[in-house]
Amino acid sequence: MSIRGIVFISHARPDEDELTRWLCGRLTARGYRVWADLEQLQGGEPFWGDIQRVIRENTAKFVTIMSRTARTRDGVLAELTEAINVRKKLSDPRFIIPLRADDLPWDEFPIQINQLNGLDFSSDWMRNFGTLLKALEGVPRVVGNAEVQRNAELLVRGQQALQRTPSEALFNRLSVLELPESIRYFKTSMSGKDLSAVTPHLRLPCAAHDRLLVSFADLASLRSAVPQGTTLEFANRHELSLDDFLRGHAHEGPDLTREQAHKHLSAILRGAIERFLRHAGLVQFDQRWFVPKDWRADDEGRFWREDGKGAYRVLVGKAKDLTWHFAISFKVFTSNPVRIQIIPHVLFSPDGIKPLADQKQLRRQRCKLWWNDRWRDLLQAFLSELFGHQQTVGEIPLGGATSMKVGATLVRLTLPVSYNAAKAYVPDTDEETGDWSDDDEVGGKQESAT
C-alpha cells in the first residue's frame, strides 16, 4: 500500500506558475514532498496516467489554485474531479485545500468546492501561508537541512506578525528644521593644499574650496577661530543665498557644481555636529561617539515615553568583565530633505574609559538579545540628555551668531501596517541575558550584574 506523503498542487499553466513555484520552494524548505506540473513533467504534455496515479495513491493533501483561468481549464477540472473521488474514498473533508489566486469571487468556484473554506492568495502570498501550513499538519515531512527549515519557520512567523492596521513608527532620523539663509566665501592667504590641511583645526565649521573658505560664520568669528601659532589671514569675498549656492553655478563666487556645493554643505554640517557632540561631553572613537562613564547621574538617560510616563535607560553598564557604552555615528543628507541619520552602536571597554580596538564580535555575542524596542529607548534617552528633557527643537552652532535648528526627537511616520509582538520570534535565552538588566520606570534601579 502506497504511503500518502505528497502535497499535490494543481494549477493552470502558465498563469499560476509563479505562485506555484513560490509555494513549492517554501513547502520543500519545510520538509514537504511537493508534486506540481513544473519540473516533473517539463518538456512535454502532462501524462494523465501519472497525474491520476499520484493523486489516487500518493497524495496526502490536494491544493488547487483557483483563478478565472483555472476554472475553465479541462486539466485543472479533471484533477479536481479525481481529488474529489479520493476525498470520498478517504472520508477526509479537509483533503482538498482551495487557494484563490486572483479576484475570482468565492461563489464562482467550481460547484464541487465552493462550500470549502478557501485561502486567499490573491494579493499577499505570505499572509495566509501560515494558515496553509496548519492545514497541512499531519502530512509526513522529510527531515533535511535543519538551518533551511529554521529559516523557513522564521520567515513564516515574521510575516504572520504583520497586521494590516496602520501604526506609527520612529525612524532613526533627525529633521533639519532651519539653516541660515546665506553662506559666505572668504579669501585666504594660503595655498589650496595648505588650507585643506588647516581647515579641520579651525574652531568653527567650514569647508575649503581651493584657496577660498566656505562658512556660515562672519569674518570676525572666523579670525578668532584660528588656532594659536597658525598664520592665516581672511578677507570677505562673496556672500550668496544658500539656495543659490546649493543649485550650483551661482552668479557669484567660484563656478561650483551642484555636487560640489552639497559636498561642502555636508562637510560644514558634519563638522558642526562633531563640535556639538564634543562640547556635550561625548568621546570620539573612529567615526563613533560614545557616552563616557558618569556622563549623567547613575549613567542614566531619562526621557518621556509615548504614554506620557517618565522612563530611563542606562547608557553605560557592565557586561561581565567589560563595560558597555551607548554610542552613535551619523550621516548628513543635504537634499530631499536635509536630515541627519543617527546610527546607534554599543562599544565595549575594559576600564570604562578606552574602548577596545576590536569590537567586531563583542556586539554580536553580547547584544544578540537587544531588540528594536531597546535600541529605540536607548536612542530616545540619549537624545533627551543631549538636547534637554522634553525639548522638541535643538540648536547646533554653525559659527558666529548662526546655528542649525534640528528636531530634538526622532522622526515619526505613519505606516500602513502594524506588528503583533505576541507572534514575534524570540530565541531561547542563555546565560548572558542576566548581565543586561535595567528598569524602564523612572525611580527604578539597575540590578547588579552577576
Written as one string, the DSSP assignment of 419-442 is E-GGG---PPP-GGGGG----SBT
* pLDDT for 76: 92
For cell 503583533, the residue is 420
Question: At residue 114, what are phi and psi to the nearest 5 degrees?
Answer: -75, -5
7 in Cβ contact with 32 (< 8 Å): yes
Alpha carbons 370 and 374: distance in angstroms, whole number: 6
Structure confidence by residue, pLDDT tens digits, 259-276: 999 999 999 999 999 999
* pLDDT for 152: 59
Mean per-residue pLDDT of the chain: 86
Residues near 255 by beta carbon (within 8 Å), at least 6 away in sequence: 249
Between 444 and 215, name the one with better pLDDT. Answer: 215
Confidence tier at 258 by pLDDT (50, 70, 90) = very high
- Core vs surface per residue 72-87: b (16+ CB within 10 A) or e: ebebbbebbebbbebb
Q: Give yes or no for residue 174 having a pLDDT over 60.
A: yes
* pLDDT for 438: 37
113 in Cβ contact with 98 (< 8 Å): yes
H and E: helices and strands count for the chain: 11, 23
- Core vs surface per residue 230-264: b (16+ CB within 10 A) or e: eebebeebbeeeeebbbeeebeebeebeeeebbeb
Domain boundaries of the chain, sorted by first residue: 6-160, 169-175+277-435, 181-276
* pLDDT for 427: 54
Structure confidence by residue, pLDDT tens digits, 37-81: 765 444 444 567 788 999 999 999 999 999 999 999 998 999 999
Question: Which secondary-structure segment (H or E) carries 444?
Answer: none
Question: Which secondary-structure segment (H or E) carries 109?
Answer: none
Confidence tier at 25 by pLDDT (50, 70, 90) = confident
Lowest-confidence segment of 38-47, 167-176, 229-238 by average pLDDT: 38-47
* pLDDT for 28: 86
Structure confidence by residue, pLDDT tens digits, 374-422: 999 999 999 999 999 989 999 999 999 999 999 999 999 888 877 776 6
- Give the CATH architecture of domain 6-160: 3-Layer(aba) Sandwich (3.40)
Alpha carbons 397 and 450: distance in angstroms, whole number: 43
Structure confidence by residue, pLDDT tens digits, 323-348: 999 999 999 999 889 999 999 999 99
- The reported pTM is 0.64
Between 423 and 390, name the one with better pLDDT. Answer: 390
Q: Give yes or no for residue 434 having a pLDDT over 50.
A: no
Alpha carbons 73 and 99: distance in angstroms, whole number: 16
Q: Give yes or no for residue 109 having a pLDDT over 70.
A: yes
| Three-state SS at 71 | helix
Alpha carbons 72 and 387: distance in angstroms, whole number: 66
Confidence tier at 202 by pLDDT (50, 70, 90) = very high
Residue 65 CB-half CA count within 13 A: 26
180 burial via Cβ count (<10 Å: 0-12, 13-18, 19+) = middle
Lowest-confidence segment of 162-171, 396-405, 438-447 by average pLDDT: 438-447
Pairing mode, strands 167-171 and 173-178: unpaired
Structure confidence by residue, pLDDT tens digits, 287-302: 999 999 999 999 999 9
72 in Cβ contact with 48 (< 8 Å): no
Question: Which secondary-structure segment (H or E) carries 54?
Answer: none
Q: Give yes or no for residue 144 having a pLDDT over 70.
A: no
Length reported for the chain: 450
Alpha helices in 105-224 (DSSP H): 129-135, 146-160, 192-198, 219-224
121 in Cβ contact with 99 (< 8 Å): yes
24 in Cβ contact with 7 (< 8 Å): no
Cis geometry, peptide bond prior to residue 14 (ω within 30 degrees of 0):
yes
For cell 524570540, the residue is 426
